[in-house]
Every structure is written in structure tokens, then in C-alpha cells.
Structure 1
């Protein structure tokens, strides 16, 4: 979503207003300083190059020519004359250096001074040439000495003076550049300080404006959030900032709506859950079951079988004590097994001729927790819809084992079983999404559906019961729940 005057754009604009003028001024200052630096560096290079010949050029040329004139350097010997002294090379090297300085400069005054130095070196080379020709001819000692004194020494003196003048001129220009750099830096500093003051003043005003645009809606959101945290789910915020805060307000309103819906949904689920628990408890306190059990106890008493009457009465007491379990929703697997055992003991008194049972759940599973009344409805279903519909004696087996982080409990019977069609109808009744599902037959599927819904509601969709059955063979109901200890429930 894009906003016309988004906070991001305003903040970026504020930053650019602060940075851009300073960046432009800084760029100009850098460019200006670079120009001065280039000029300053060229002057230093020129002075260094010229200074290399300031003190040595005259001395070297004079000494070499003097040795040639007096004969110390044997110039007439082709093999020896260039071995120790070479005035031509000294002059050529210096002239080439000053010619390079001449070519690199565009300053007319510098070029004039350098041109004079080069011309002096050309003239000096001519006078050196005159003396060397006389030396090669021989017999011109006095003339050569006069020429050395009057020409060579005077020309090298004049050349050295011109080199010194050139260096002095460059040094003056260096001072001018230094002064210009200092003045430019001071000028740029004053401009930057003045510009900084203006920018700071503008930014204070702009920041206050942006801050109000940000903090006022945030304060409104905080107030709405405070009311919401106190339970007011009718609170809503209205914003017309045309920026990201509008989206934040919309998100807040959406969150409140969704939380309100979830709370209402949880209330409905809790209400349904209580209805299911109440229905299950009512099914456990079935008056027919209670009447039949009490009639059996009375019959045993009348017949003098007081021992079995006491056992049956004890099992009935244990059964209802486990059913209520002091209002607890979760009990241990061991307690649930004892509840089922009490139920089977009571039913075995009544159906001793058709019912056998076996419970083989490992002891290491007994301390884990399970929702109460998770197994008894399955055992009841196995008895009334499996064993009783079969001719002859039947058996109900309860077993279990641990599967990773889950517990698996099995309720098996070798009763009548179900056809494929009956099994499909029962699964649809147990797993149906609607609140009212037509049972397969009278009462068949209600207890299983109740257990399925409670397990999925409590543990999640991956848990619950799974039914497998084969006609004339029997039925197996598998219960999958997570391994939970006391601190997890």
C-alpha cells in the first residue's frame, strides 16, 4: 500500500533538506581544495626540480671545464675524454629538465623565466664547444683560460642566478596559494556554519511538525489499546493521516475484530464442550444401568451371595467415584484403566456367560494423563454393539503401547463386527462436522462421537480415535493421545 505523504517520505525529505546543502557545499570545498592542492603540488615539484641544479650546476660545469682547460682531463684522447668529465652531458641533462618544466607550465611569466634559462644553457654550450675545439687543436691555453674565465664562469653564474630567481618566484606563488587556501577554507567554514544554523532551524520546525503527525495518532492508538486491554472490544480507531499510521490503525481494528471473534468462538466451544461433558456424565449415570446393577446386587444379597454382592457394590462405588473424579477433567491412564475395570467387573456379573475381558496396558504408561471417560464409552460400545450381538462368548481386550511422543490405546472385541457399509456410516457419524449427526442405529455412535470431539478439541486434529472392523471377526478402536505428564495438563 502506498501513501501520498508517508512518514518514510517525510523523514527522507527532512534528511535530504539537512544533508543536500551541506553535501553540495562540501563537494564545492573539496573541488576547490583539490584545485589548490594540484597547483600547490605542481609548484613544489617545480621547485624541487629546479633546486636540484641551483647549487650544483655552476660548480659541476666550472670544474669540468677547468680540468679540460688545464689538461687534467685528457680531452684529446678519444678513449679518455668522456670517461671522467662530460660537460655536454651535464648541460643536456639540466636543459632537458628545464625544458620539461617549460612544457608543463602555462604561466607566461614562468615560461619567460624558463626560456631565459634554456637560452643561457644553449649559449653556454656554444662557449664550451669553442673551448673544446681549441683543446682538440692544441696550443690555445691562454685563449681557453680567458674564455673559461670570461665566458664559462660568467654564463654559469648568470644561469645560476636565473635558476634562483625562478625558484624565488615559485616560492612566492606557493605563499599566494597557501594564503588563498586559508582564505577559501575560512570562507567555506563561515558559509557552512551559517547554512547549518539555517538548516537546524528549519529542521526543528519540520521535526516538530512530523513529530506531531506521528505522536498524536500513536497516542490515540495507545489510548485505544489501553481500553482494549481492559476488556472493551468495541473500541476502534479512526485515522486520516494518509500514511503508514492509517495502516497501523486498520491493523489494530482488524486485530480487535479477530480477537473478539476468537473469544466468542472460544466461548461457544467451551459451551459445547461443557454440553458434551454433561451428556457424557449423564450417559454414565444411565438409570437403566444403575437399576440393573442394583437389581443384580439385590438378587445376590437375597440369594445369600453376599461376597459377590459386596464386590459388585464396591465396583459400582469405584465406577461412579472415577466418573466424578472430584471435578477433574484429566486423570492418569492408570485411573482411567481402573474406571474401565470397575465397569467391566459390574457388567461381567450380569453377562458372565457371554463376557470375558483382559487389560494389558504397560505400567510405564499409567502415570501419563488422559481426558477422563475416554475409554469407558469405547468399552461400552464394544459390549453392547459387538459382544451382545454375537452368539457365544466374547472377549474385550484393552492394551496399549508408546509410539514416540504419543500413547496408543486399543479396545478390541471379537464380537459381531461391521460390514463395510456399517463401518462407513459409523465413521461418518463419529467424524461428522455438524452438531446433529444421525446415528447408525439407536445409541450406536453417540459415545464414540462424543469421545472423538473431546479428544480433538483438547489435543488437536492429529489425535482422536480410529475405527477398524471386520464382519463376523470383531472391531478395534485405536485411541491416539500425546504423552502428557502432570505439569503439561
Structure 2
């Protein structure tokens, strides 16, 4: 709780508070206007849809009316003059007052096929289907008529064809067009009725909202001006101090209403934030120590000393090529361990890392160590936390193969199943009995800083769960005398999943690596 003289000082500075009640009233007004805005948008959309539908129907009717008035007359005239020899099929292009029957049929079919694509009501579509069928029939009859004219001497049969078939077909087509116009007119009436219903509904809803919102606004303004001004100012002052980093700030409100409850919760929150900040700082220190401990665990001084000794022996034994190979392998091992401070590397790089590690260890334990790496190349580009497999391989060597006292095999496999990756390190070493397996399982499920044994495995398991969730991690199978198998399940990702905070983690990792290099 802040001191009384500080409270008086804050109360004197109330004129500096930026969180004014006027802004609150403006916010309430804007909220009240949202329903009207929503209704207006709804009305505009409805009007737009109606206008679009109405214009489409009018356009359809205009096209249909044009053909209703002109098609039959033009078709009958053209065919009759062709039968009586006034014009031939090839001469229609030069006859300005006549149109080719085929051109008329083609234009009619094209227009009404287009109308069928945009027509929605069922009845109109049925008459369009009938019309298109009649057009096809008419075209066939015209073909017959043109063929008879070319043969010659069929004037009477051609006139009969006109009277008995073609004129009837053009009449049917005209009837189809008229029925289509009739049902399109009905659709226009339905659209108009729908619009009228929507407008009536809108007027009723708008009137009710105006009444309710007017009453609500009056009550809200009265409540704001009489009961919330001072408590909110006090809260805003305290919040402003906290936003500037003063976590000792508290709000002293004695209005004995909801704002007082809010002030109490605010004070509780400020206290919790203060506690959490301290805890986060402590956790960052612990995380830094854990990072350093991880590097120390992985870069084992004995491993380094033994490797350097092996290099010396190779040089003294006049085997410079093998000594150079081991130096290169050791350099590659450390390069991949450090990874420029990155927390995530590709599975290809992780494979290179454990391969370098095993190549070095094979020089030392050539009489007891065999290994095979079977990682599917298709998963090489997926991301994985660095130093994920090496602790498992080290565990298999030192706690499995080494105590077997005979030649042993370590197998590393990696596959993708569904959306997840499965990486397994298996050995045929001494294995564990049920009690040892349960104890190890408990150890790796605890935070690594609390483990008494198996830190490397616990560290890997904790990092996987921290990045991907509790459903991921490692599973261990082991049997005394038969060996141990550890499988890691992680999601298959190609993008680096490190959070923005990972930058800080990377910085810490780089510092740890620098200290390790020292």
C-alpha cells in the first residue's frame, strides 16, 4: 500500500489523467451506433441484391421480348422467299432486308442458352429447355428444306413443309418465349414482395432499437458521470505508474461498489505481477545455468581429453592421415554443438553431429562398438532441437554397450509417420530391469534441474515438451540383458519454431558457448 502523502499527491495530479470520462461516453456512443450501422449495411446489401436480381430479370425479359416480336416474322419471311426462289441460301449475305435462317437460329440458340445459365426459377428453365429443343427441330427442318430446294422440282412439297412443320415450329418457339416472359414476370413480383417484407422488418427492428438504446444511453451516461469518474481516475493513475515500471503502485478506492472490487483485483494483479517478475528473473538465471550445464554435460572434458590423446597416439604411431581425419571429425563435432547459438538445426545436421561423435568414439572403442544410422533422407530438412540425439547415443554407449563387456551395436533410425517424426536410438547392451526403468522414467519426467541422474535424457525430454507440448517427448523400452530402445516423437516442422523470446535464449546459448570455448 502506498503512503498517505503519496495518495494526496496523486489526487492533486488528477488533471493530468488522460483517461477521461468523455472518451468513455464517446465509446458508449460508438457502441450504440454499431447496431444501426449493422442494420444499414444489411439494408444496403438487401437493396443491392434486389437491384441485381431485378436488373437481371429485366435484361432477360428485354432479350426475350425482342425475339418474341421479331423471330417468327423474320424466319417465316426468309424461308418463304427462299422456297419461291426469290433468294438462295448463299445470297442472304447480300440481301439487306432479309436474314439467313441459320443466322437467326444461331443467334436465338446462343441468347437463350445464355439466359438458361443465369435463370434461377424452375418454371422458366423448363420453358427454356422446350424452346431449345424446338430450335434444334427447326434447324433440322430447315436443313431438309434447303436440301429439297437444291434437288429442285419440289416446290409443292416445300410449301407443304413450310405450312405443316416450319410455321408450326416457329409458332411453338414464340409460345415458349411468351411463357418464359410470363414466369420471369412472376419472379419479379416475388422479388418485389421479398424486398417489401425486408423493409417492413427493418423499420420495426430499427424502431425497437432506437427506443431501447435511447433509454440505455441515458442510464449509462448518468451512471458514468455520477459513480465512475473518480474511481476510474484513481485506477488510471495507478495503471500509468505500473506501465512505467513502478510495480509498487496501488489504487486506493473506497467507493464500495463494483469499481472498488475492480480496484482490489487490480491491486492483487499488481502484486502478482511483481511476484512473477521476480520469479521470471530467477527462472532466467536458472535457465542460464541449465544451458551452461547442458553444454558441460555434452562437451564432456573426458571425451575431449581422450580424443586428443588418441590424436597424439596416431601422430606418434606415424598415422598422420587418421590423425587429420580425427581432428576434422572433432572440429565438425564442436561446430555442430555450438551451431552459432541456434536452438534448432535440421535433422541432416543432427545426423552429422552424432555421426562425428560416433566416429570419434569408434576410434577409442573399436573393439566393442558397432553402429548404424538409418535416417530416412526425406526427413533431413525438418527442424529439431540441437543436441537431441547425441545424449541418447552417449547414454547407449556408456550405460549399455560399455558395461556389456563384449561387442555391441547402436542403431539410430528416423522416420515420418503422419504429421510426426519418430527418432529412435537402440542398443543391445546390458539393458535395465523393471525397477531401473521405472526410476529412469520418473527422472526424465521431472525438470532437468531437479534430476539426480539421467540429466542428459531429462534435458532432452524437457526441451521437447517446452517447445512442442506435453504430448510429445521420449518413450523408453528396456529389458535386462537385451538392450534399450529410446524413441523420441516430435511434430514434423520445416520452419524454425523458436518464439520471439528465442532471441534471448539464443543470446544466452551463445554466451554459454563462449564460456565453454574459454
| Pairing partner for 1:262 from 245, 252, 276 | 276
Q: Pick from 450, 474, 485 the counterpart of residue 494 of structure 2.
A: 485
- Which residue of 368, 379, 385 corresponds with 1:365? 379
1:309 corresponds in structure 2 to 323
Distance 1:283 1:435 in 2: 12
Q: Provide closer, same or farther for how the CA distance between residues 392 and 228 of structure 1 changes in structure 2, counting only shifts above 3 A.
A: same
**Residues of 2 paired with 1:309 and 1:301: CA distance?**
6
Question: How big is the shift at 1:232?
Answer: 2.3
Among 412, 417, 440, which residue is 2:431 paired with? 417
The CA deviation at 1:357 is 1.2
Hey, what's the Cα distance between the residues in 1 that align with 2:251 and 2:433?
60
1:380-419 paired onto structure 2 within 5 Å: 380-419=394-433
Unaligned runs of 5+ in 2: 1-214, 499-518
Which of the numbers 466, 469, 475 marks the counterpart of 2:478? 469
1:430-463 Cα deviation digits (max 9, x unpaired):
2235844433xxxxx1221222233333333222
Aligned in 2, Cα 1:407/1:287: closer, same or farther, shift over 3 Å? same
> Among residues 252, 271, 277, which one is paired with 2:266 in the alignment?
252
User: What secondary structure, in the 3-state scheme, does the structure 1 residue paired with 2:227 have?
Assistant: helix
Q: What is the SS of the residue equivalent to 2:481?
A: coil
Question: Structure 1 residues 446, 433: closer, same or farther in 2, change over 3 A?
Answer: closer
* The one of 466, 469, 486 aligned to 1:457: 466
Shift of 1:487: 4.6
Contact 1:355 1:393 in 2 (8 A): yes
**1:220 corresponding residue in structure 2:** 234
Deviating more after overlay: 360-369 vs 411-420: 360-369
Task: Find the aligned partners of 1:232 and 1:261 in 2 and give their Cα distance.
Answer: 13
Which residue of structure 1 lines up, in the alignment, with residue 353 of structure 2? 339
Contact 1:273 1:454 in 2 (8 A): no
Aligned-partner SS, 2:404? coil
For the residues of structure 1 that align with 2:277 and 2:377, how far apart are their CA atoms?
40
Q: Report the counterpart of residue 390 of structure 2 in structure 1.
A: 376
Q: Scaled by the length of structure 2, what TM-score is found?
A: 0.51
SS of alignment partner, residue 304 of structure 1: coil
Q: 1:207 to 1:392 in 2, by over 3 A?
A: closer
Deviation larger for 382-391 or 207-216: 207-216
Q: Is the 8 A contact 2:238 2:250 kept in 1?
A: yes
Give the deviation of 1:272 after TM superposition: 2.2
1:231-258 superposed Cα distances (whole Å, 9 cap, x missing partner): 2222221211122112222232233333
Deviation at 1:418, TM superposition (A): 0.7
Number of positions where the alignment pairs a residue of Structure 1 with one of Structure 2? 282
SS at 1:242's partner residue?
Answer: coil
Preserved contact between residue 413 and residue 476 of structure 1 (Cα < 8 Å) = yes
Structure 1 partner of 2:507 = none
Deviations 1:231-289 (A, max 9, x none): 22222212111221122222322333333333333333332222222112112332211
Q: Report the CA distance between 1:310 and its aligned residue.
A: 1.3
Once the two structures are overlaid, the 10-residue window that deviates more, 344-353 or 405-414, is 405-414
Post-superposition CA distance 1:277-330 (Å, at most 9, x none): 211211233221111101111111222222221111111001111111112222
Q: Distance in 1 between matches of 2:469 and 2:486?
A: 18
| Cα shift at 1:476 | 0.9
Of the candidates 281, 286, 304, which is equivalent to residue 272 of structure 1? 286
Structure 1: gaps of 5 or more residues: 1-199, 440-444
Structure number, greater radius of gyration: 1
Between 1:374-383 and 1:279-288, the stretch displaced more is 279-288
Aligned in 2, Cα 1:484/1:461: closer, same or farther, shift over 3 Å? same
Partner SS state of residue 238, structure 1: coil
What CA distance in whole angstroms lies between the structure 2 residues aligned with 1:406 and 1:296? 40
RMSD: 2.5
TM-score, reference length from structure 1 = 0.54
Counterpart Cα distance in 1 of 2:470 and 2:378: 26
Partners of 1:360 and 1:330 in 2: how far apart? 21
